[in-house]
Structure 1
Amino acid sequence: MNKEALIALGLTLEQADKVIEGYGTTIPKSRFDEVNTSKKQLETDLASRDKQLEELKKVDAAGLQTKITELQQENAEAKTNYENDLKASQLSSAIKLALVGKVHDSDIATSLIDTALIELDTEGKVTKGLDEQLKTLQESKPFLFVPEKKEQKFKGWDPAGSNLDKDLPQDIGFNFAKEANSKGAPAEKALNPWGQ
């Protein structure tokens, strides 16, 4: 409370000055509650920190260092295992892609191939070691491989209109089409559809 508030309550100027000198200005209750709550929170936090420090004093530093070392070794092993699994997966996929259309069952053929002899390029394609193994495997187990297709040539009669031999006269359909295309041409250039 300040001097003006005391005067408003009915005190004289002298009385208000004496009250202010004796007690000073008063703090509003809301500000008091705010500071009091903050003080209690700080005391609680301080007690919590003291408890944490006591717990840390009980911790075995050598034991923690041993645990950290163990975890680092486990992480290194896990990373190595992951890299090996990833490499094996990439190798298997590259082999299966290289075998597409060459074998009946790529899983069986892949299981018969020694992957240690195969090398991959940076794009994951087989560069070395597969062709030699496939030749050996094809000799020992030819039933795994898809037979190569040979181009078949049919001999015999050529159907009408095939025009394989250009010296032969054209068929009637060809002649009708040619006549239709020559409509409007002079009479001497008009074609007879019967080929005569």
Structure 2
Amino acid sequence: MKRKFLEDLGLEKEAIDKIMAENDNDVNAAKADYDSMKQERDTMAAQVAERDKQLEELKNSTGDTEALKQQIITLQADNQAAMEKYDADMKELKLSTAIKLALGESAQDSDLVAGLFDKSKLILSDDGKVTGLEEQLKSLKKEKAFLFKEEKPAQVQIKGGKPAEGAGTPPSDKKPSEMTYSEMCKYLETNPGAAIE
């Protein structure tokens, strides 16, 4: 989504900033999902190729059945170990991605702060939700606030107000004693605390 499109709709800057921030969060989440699925696909493709190679070797091998049975058992054990490693790697990738998404732009150094999370206490559900992440993030923000960027409160914009004009002194062409009542009121309104002689 382009900022100019929202500006052309006549939205205020604060509303545009909020929409763009939410859009960035959605894009980052989608990119993280894409990267995760791409890595998962590449890993699966490599495993399928390895298994195809193993099956081809078994097909072409000749020998006694006991040796073939032993080779099959060994290959099954290797494949099981490979699958367990793959599952562990995928869990690690999903947890790391979830942590980085939770941090967003709030951390001074997201890689450093991501390393402070205790992943053993995080629970990854089947739907991709991570339990315990928010609690650890709040705790880190409280205990190690210096690692996070200062959150600036949204600035309130007052419409219709004009900044004060002048430097706090009466116009050079009139003394306060020469001003009319309305000129004096206007002068005091634009210069609060001005001394009147």
- Provide TM-score, normalisation by structure 2: 0.45
- Report 1 or 2 for greater relative contact order, CA contacts < 8 Å, sequence distance ≥ 6: 2
- Whichever structure has more helix as a proportion of its residues is 2
